[in-house]
Structure 1
Amino acid sequence: MSAPAALTANNTPLSPLRFLERSASVFPDRTAVIHGDRTYTYREFGDEVAALARVLRERIQPGDRVAYLAPNIPEMLFAHFAVPLAGGILIALNSRLAGPELEYILDHSGTTILFVDSEFVGSVSSSKTNVPSLREIIEIPDSTVPYPEVPAGIVTGQYADLLAEGEALADQPLHWGVDDEQQCIAINYTSGTTGKPKGVMYSHRGAYLNSLGETFHNGFTGSTKYLWTLPMFHCNGWCTPWAVTQAAGTHICLRAVRADSIWDAIDNLGVTHLCGAPTVCSTIADAEQAHKVDTLRITTAGAPPSPTIIGKLEDIGVTVVHVYGLTEVYGPYTICEYQEAWDDKPQSERAALLSRQGVGMVQAENARVVDAEMNDVPADGQTMGEIVLRGNNVMLGYYRDEAATAEAFAGGWFHSGDLGVMHSDGYIQLKDRAKDIIISGGENISTVEVEQAIMSHPAVIDVAVVGVPDEKWGERPKAFVVLGKGLQASAEDIVEHTRTLLAGYKVPRDIVFPLDLPRTPTGKVLKFELRASK
């Protein structure tokens, strides 16, 4: 007998839009957002999102892509609700990217409207000309900082004017939900080994369930004061814009991650939670302002946190939680769940245990470590295999890239490309990166992308880029550059050339000029030899 058709009485499509609708209704006067001298209650949060959604709905078709280029300001937070509420798909752009990189994403995604913080208007100076789908560029000024010098003739509208238009449409009803929970809510672009970013599609269902997992594991409540040290452009801030709102906690926006700003928020605003790469942990632990705290929980990912840094944070009362994931799984997928038996272990041993990637979160299945035939490797902490994942918080697929999607989902599991081991207690540990991706400050850097940029220099005939350890960033790129016969270029020349094509954090500052590159008989560069060289 076939199952009955879904009924409205027992089946409501899942969407994180419901989180704001509920919090604005149940806790209208609670402080929702703090940004410098700007504050918003949940009523005001909901009202601004609704106004923006109404005016966007007049400008876009269902499924149109709307992009935001902004730091962690309230408007970026509001976009996570307003764009899908209007029927659009959010593209949160990495504010560290260079103009050509941004234009590639805008063009590939077919973005129709771009919202840009005043500081970054210059980065999109040619986007209107070079991206055929782009119809409008809306400027977002931030009153908490001095107004920068903005190039003329780029923006086509102002954020405040759109809100005024939306308020005039207040009598038009909004549906705080979706008809199909599998429809796309956001596309996040991530670098792959091909060098070009791939668009990772998130669904309303996946975002809803991952948000609940974040709320559970972080312990978010209505008393939570969450500091935005993690970029909202990174995996939609690990779904935390939706998660903190679901708990009706307080978002504390942070335009730039600096030690003094973080400690000021901890001391004066009562921060209880924050997330970020290990560099954020180091910034906090090594700051001059560092001192004992009563309650602070840091969730970190991007690279295994240093046991030394974990120890420093523990000494001042900070709880560090290590998670592991990728853009393709909405951010965190596994968590290093703390065991009471670790209490009696020496701090160094406990820190080493905490630096493992852990076990599947509540909304995820258990991660596996498999060999080339998809068989589980022995759980001995020694045998390496590829980490594969599946479940409700795995992406819908890569936007406009069916071949890459099929490859990533081979065998019914998502292939992370990361190599790790399985310990006897069921905890996984990352050991190496199968695709040579460099993780610097929590951000992925494609070596192929950097190599292609360097190769465009007229004096360069061959190049290889590898990741090398960095005390502050975890890893940094190092380039081995072969110059053509009779051609000249200094390290400074290479750096300056590359900086015109790529974001600053992708540009190698270590440049070596060998006569040739070590290769296999088939011509593949032996990168492990380059990593080991001095």
Structure 2
Amino acid sequence: MALNYTSGTTSSPKGVVHCHRGLFIITVSSLIDWSIPNQTVFLWTLPMFHANGWSYSWGMAAVGGTNICLRKVDLPIIYSLIKQHGVTHICGAPVVLNMLSSVPSTKPLDRPVKILTSGASPPAAVLLRTESLGFVVSHSYGLTETAGFVVSCAWKSQWNTLADTERARLKARQGVRTIGLADMDVVHPETGMSVKHDGQSQGEIVFRGGSIMLGYLKDQEGSSLCMRDNDWFYTGDIGVVHSDGYLEIKDRSKDVIISGGENLSSAEVESVLYMNPAINEVALVAQRDKFWGRGPVLL
């Protein structure tokens, strides 16, 4: 039904093949997980070519929703359209959340707007700022190969009594599997065994379910490298599982910086730096180092 291109875990563009059945599963699952009502007013800050708009390209039609489209992500236009059309739902990567909440003069919304974020792990500080403006943030995780988000940070009512910073920290975790996913696990890269659910033992995140791609177009070798062990999809993402069963991404395997034999998580360092109010946006990358081999550098 659809062919979506992604760099995946190797930075080499690959055509991800999805069938009708898989896209139907992810669409229904995404509507249910985010509790999408009929006649939703959906603002497209998310490009529709990103995993078919995380399945909401079809999902909005299924619930009779109204699509509000943008030519580019422009903050004044976004806030104007939210007010003009009574927008109820928005999807966007963490960078969009950062943009929405980084202008000091921005006034809180007249009424709450639900926003779903996915992609890179959103820093807790960005989540906190975004919700202070009246956005109700939900956090999810998926890849082009899964046709959309298959993990969701299911919110527990008892967390509402926690301090703001603690709520933001919990919401920064990716969460538990959605109904469209059969299995989720974090496994040791060498043994393939599940890691301990202690929030510290790291491994590769793997999925199995109906919305997983059929494979990469005309790339049997690439497909076999990530689809193995009885249809498990190996994501290339590094994560941990907490004692309550919630998944948290630590980094992509290709982004882990190995310096002097130590593994440095770029995402984890960035999350700490975002807690400084003087920092608006930051990225940690590797550079050659004569002594350590590789070392981190901030952009």
TM-score range (shorter-chain normalised) is 0.7 to 0.9
8 Å Cα contact 1:193/1:437 also seen in 2: no
Q: Name the structure 1 match of 2:201.
A: 383
Q: CA 1:474 to 1:225, structure 2 compared with 1: closer, same or farther past 3 Å?
A: farther
Equivalent residue letter for 1:403: E
Q: Name the structure 2 match of 1:255.
A: 71
TM superposition shift of 1:218: 2.1
Q: Name the structure 2 match of 1:398.
A: 216
Q: Name the structure 1 match of 2:251.
A: 432
Q: CA 1:298 to 1:402, structure 2 compared with 1: closer, same or farther past 3 Å?
A: same
TM superposition shift of 1:293: 3.3
8 Å Cα contact 2:284/2:296 also seen in 1: no
**Is 1:363–2:128 an aligned residue pair?**
no
Q: Name the structure 1 match of 2:234.
A: 415
| TM score, norm. by length of structure 1 | 0.49
Q: Name the structure 1 match of 2:261.
A: none
1 CA distance for matches of 2:59 and 2:298? 45
Q: Which 5+ residue runs of structure 1 have no aligned equivalent?
A: 1-184, 439-465, 481-513, 520-525
Q: Name the structure 2 match of 1:530.
A: 295
2 CA distance for matches of 1:315 and 1:235? 29
- Aligned counterparts, 1:88-487, within 5 A: 185-192=1-8, 194-287=10-103, 288-371=105-188, 372-412=190-230, 413-436=232-255, 469=270, 475=283, 480=287
2 CA distance for matches of 1:427 and 1:241? 28
1 CA distance for matches of 2:116 and 2:210? 21
8 Å Cα contact 2:151/2:175 also seen in 1: yes
8 Å Cα contact 1:276/1:299 also seen in 2: yes
1 CA distance for matches of 2:285 and 2:199? 29
Determine which structure has the larger strand proportion and give its number.
2
Q: Which secondary structure does the structure 1 equivalent of 2:149 belong to? A: strand
Aligned CA RMSD, in angstroms, stands at 2.5
2 CA distance for matches of 1:192 and 1:295? 34
Q: Which 5+ residue runs of structure 2 have no aligned equivalent?
A: 258-265
1 CA distance for matches of 2:178 and 2:17? 20
8 Å Cα contact 1:221/1:248 also seen in 2: no
2 CA distance for matches of 1:373 and 1:195? 25
Equivalent residue letter for 2:150: Y
8 Å Cα contact 1:202/1:396 also seen in 2: yes
8 Å Cα contact 1:386/1:418 also seen in 2: yes
Equivalent residue letter for 2:228: A
2 CA distance for matches of 1:477 and 1:331? 27
Equivalent residue letter for 1:401: D
Q: Name which of structure 1's ranges 193-202 and 348-357 shifts more when overlaid on structure 2.
A: 193-202
TM superposition shift of 1:295: 2.4
2 CA distance for matches of 1:354 and 1:391? 24
2 CA distance for matches of 1:291 and 1:194? 41
8 Å Cα contact 1:420/1:431 also seen in 2: yes
8 Å Cα contact 2:184/2:205 also seen in 1: yes
Equivalent residue letter for 2:252: R
Q: Which secondary structure does the structure 1 equivalent of 2:30 belong to? A: helix
1 CA distance for matches of 2:149 and 2:283? 20
8 Å Cα contact 1:303/1:474 also seen in 2: no
1 CA distance for matches of 2:61 and 2:221? 36
Equivalent residue letter for 1:319: V
1:103-140 superposed Cα distances (whole Å, 9 cap, x missing partner): xxxxxxxxxxxxxxxxxxxxxxxxxxxxxxxxxxxxxx
TM superposition shift of 1:518: 6.5
What is the aligned-residue identity percentage?
38
Aligned pair count reads: 280
Q: Which secondary structure does the structure 2 equivalent of 1:531 belong to? A: strand
2 CA distance for matches of 1:355 and 1:277? 13
Q: Which secondary structure does the structure 2 equivalent of 1:365 belong to? A: strand
Rg bigger for which structure? 1
1:302-353 superposed Cα distances (whole Å, 9 cap, x missing partner): 1222222222222232210010111111121100000011011111011100
Higher relative contact order (CA 8 A, sep 6+): 2
Equivalent residue letter for 1:423: H
Moved over 3 A (4+): 192-195, 287-290, 466-478, 516-519
2 CA distance for matches of 1:231 and 1:473? 21
8 Å Cα contact 2:205/2:239 also seen in 1: yes
Determine which structure has the larger helix proportion and give its number.
1
